Amino acid sequence: MVSKKISKKAVIRNKIKRRIRHLARMFLKSGLFLIRPNCDISQIDFEILKNDFEQISVKINKNLQIY
């Protein structure tokens, strides 16, 4: 879910959605998650996003194993 506050252009919003979807497939093992960016991440290097998402997903997957 990417709001028009992030970008008025659908092309940029779709790019952000594709990046988030790809990262979620790479790192999140199971479950339903709502990932909602609050800034334009279309210009950020993918490797930086990948590292940030990996750190967050480790915490998420660790918490899922508890339950």
pLDDT in tens, 12-64: 999 999 999 999 888 877 777 888 888 899 999 999 999 999 998 888 778 77
53: burial class by Cβ within 10 Å (0-12, 13-18, 19+)? buried
Q: Is residue 67 predicted with pLDDT exceeding 60?
A: no
Q: Answer whether 57's CB lies under 8 Å from 28's CB.
A: yes
Q: Where are the domains of the chain?
A: 10-66
Q: What is the secondary structure of the chain as a DSSP string?
A: ---TTT-S-HHHHHHHHHHHHHHHHHH--SS------SS--TTS-HHHHHHHHHHHHHHHHHHHHH-
